[in-house]
Amino acid sequence: MSTIKRRNRVVQPVRVSPVEEARTQGRKAGYLGGYEEGYLKGRADYIFKTHSATFPFRPLHILYVASGKGFPYSPIDEAISSTLQGLVAQLTVIEPGQLTSEAVYQVMPDLVLVLDGMFVPNSQLDIIRQQGFKTAVWLTDDPYYTDMTMGNVSHYDYVFTLESECIPIYQQLGCPRVYHLPFAAYPGHFKPIGMPSVQRREVSFIGSAYWNRIDFLNPIMDRLMQHNTIINGIWWDRLPSYAAYEDRIEVNKWMEPEQTAEAYSASKIVINLHRSHEDDSFNNNTTKIPAASPNPRTFEISACGTLQLSDNRSDLAKFYTPGREIETYSSPAELIDKIEYYLTHEKERRDIALGALERTLREHTYGHRLNQMLSVIFA
């Protein structure tokens, strides 16, 4: 019987350099991140395309008086007028300077709807109401310019305000029909955008550099900028650390709605930080009416299928459920902690972003708001 002897072969491990190991791990992380972000965009696109909301069609003629203020109010004018075209039989759009009792009498509308109303002569409104025409105003900037709006609201039959805290104030001025009606998201402007953005962001902030925003973000700016944060808006060059980050802060440029939606969609997290009602350098609110209601960006960010971190206002939970459809913070430290948390917890970030998108399309578009308004006026 023969014996076969075999030599044991020792397989030496292949040594990988630290650089190559880092590249491998980077490719794995990139693949996983791309998959998760692709899943989020795919789900958001599906939700947006399959959602359908129907509203009653009314045989009404609406005379819509635009704000007359140009950008950034003109996109709101577009959102309202475009939405109204699908809700009523006839829509006539004019500028504030064209609103006269003679012009109204010529077209015989069922309702004269004014946005903002700063440039509309109250004397003409009084004549229009005396002729029997219904009038309504949708105020755009409450409570920040109430010094002016308090002198205008009594000249309308119906007053709709973005700020719930203004309701008792206007009622005390003799307005019997005052309603809380925030702005909303216009799907023609704000929606999930799946195509790759020119400038990917982890964190975004878009808005003017009011002093309360400067004071809030300045203590955490160094940590914030470690997460590929990009800021857009006017006056940010007065930020104390602006020179250190000017390559990621775009100042003195108003972004069109489509550009803003693309930036939101290209961000993992978008910060929403409301302006202060006590800023005398910008506001005309000498009675210091507080602000409780969310700003229009709250709905626009959510419509893009992106996680929103918002400072907490008391009315916010009426529109989105914190922790499920939006996330909130109450201090700079809490904001930066939650940014770092959600950047490393992709599923939670994705679930909240998609929940916000679904809630927005279900309840917070201009179709919902204008249908609510018309239901009040033409009950």
pLDDT at 265 over 50: yes
Q: Tell whether 97 and 171 lie within a shared domain.
A: yes
pLDDT at 375 over 60: yes
Whether 236 is in a domain gets the answer yes
Q: Tell whether 133 and 231 lie within a shared domain.
A: no
- Least confident residue range of 49-53, 170-174, 301-305, 349-353: 49-53
**Any idea what the CATH number is for the domain that residue 62 is in?**
3.40.50.11930
pLDDT at 36 over 80: no
Range of the domain at 65: 58-183+366-377
> pLDDT tens digits, residue range 312-365?
999 999 999 999 999 999 999 999 999 999 999 999 999 999 999 999 999 999
- 35 or 370: which leads in pLDDT: 370
Domain count, the chain: 2
pLDDT at 8: 57
Q: Tell whether 223 and 302 lie within a shared domain.
A: yes
pLDDT at 37: 83
pLDDT at 25: 55
Amino acid of residue 101: S
At 38, the pLDDT band (50, 70, 90 cuts) reads confident
Whether 340 is in a domain gets the answer yes
- Least confident residue range of 21-25, 38-42, 163-167, 326-330: 21-25
Q: Tell whether 128 and 155 lie within a shared domain.
A: yes
Whether 194 is in a domain gets the answer no
Sheet holding 178-180, edge to edge: 88-94, 58-65, 111-115, 135-138, 158-161, 178-180
Overall average pLDDT of the 248-270 stretch:
94
Spatial CB neighbours of 177, under 8 Å, sequence gap ≥ 6:
157, 158, 159, 376
Overall average pLDDT of the 166-176 stretch:
97
**Any idea what the CATH number is for the domain that residue 300 is in?**
3.40.50.2000
Instruction: Name the DSSP class of 113.
Output: E
Round to whole Å and give the CA distance between 232 and 230: 7
- Least confident residue range of 92-101, 126-135, 245-254: 245-254
- 80 or 18: which leads in pLDDT: 80
Whether 148 is in a domain gets the answer yes
Q: Tell whether 178 and 205 lie within a shared domain.
A: no
pLDDT at 59 over 60: yes
> pLDDT tens digits, residue range 79-94?
999 999 999 999 999 9
The helix/strand/coil state of 179 is strand
Strands 135-138, 249-251: pairing kind = unpaired
Q: Tell whether 239 and 344 lie within a shared domain.
A: yes
Q: Tell whether 175 and 227 lie within a shared domain.
A: no
Residue linked to tokens 């709605």: 257
Q: Tell whether 298 and 217 lie within a shared domain.
A: yes
Overall average pLDDT of the 211-217 stretch:
98
**Contact indicator for 158, 138 with CB cutoff of 8 Å:** no
Whether 247 is in a domain gets the answer yes
Q: Tell whether 245 and 172 lie within a shared domain.
A: no
pLDDT at 44 over 90: yes
| Of 60, 76, 70, 72, the residue nearest 138 (C-alpha) | 76
| Of 333, 305, 331, 310, the residue nearest 322 (C-alpha) | 310
Q: Tell whether 358 and 370 lie within a shared domain.
A: no
At 212, the pLDDT band (50, 70, 90 cuts) reads very high
| Of 247, 222, 226, 223, the residue nearest 236 (C-alpha) | 247
Spatial CB neighbours of 262, under 8 Å, sequence gap ≥ 6:
193, 197
Q: ∠ CA 367-362-162 to the nearest 5 degrees? A: 55
Overall average pLDDT of the 180-205 stretch:
90
- Alpha carbon of 62 to those of 114, 270, 347, 370: distances in Å? 10, 36, 45, 12
| Of 6, 292, 266, 15, the residue nearest 143 (C-alpha) | 292
At 253, the pLDDT band (50, 70, 90 cuts) reads confident
Q: Tell whether 73 and 215 lie within a shared domain.
A: no
Q: Tell whether 227 and 169 lie within a shared domain.
A: no
| Average pLDDT value over all residues in the chain | 92
Whether 175 is in a domain gets the answer yes
Whether 31 is in a domain gets the answer no
pLDDT at 377 over 50: yes
**Contact indicator for 170, 151 with CB cutoff of 8 Å:** no
pLDDT at 1 over 60: no
pLDDT at 33 over 70: no
Whether 43 is in a domain gets the answer no
pLDDT at 277 over 90: yes
Q: ∠ CA 175-176-180 to the nearest 5 degrees? A: 85
pLDDT at 254: 85
pLDDT at 30: 44
pLDDT at 26: 47
pLDDT at 9: 61
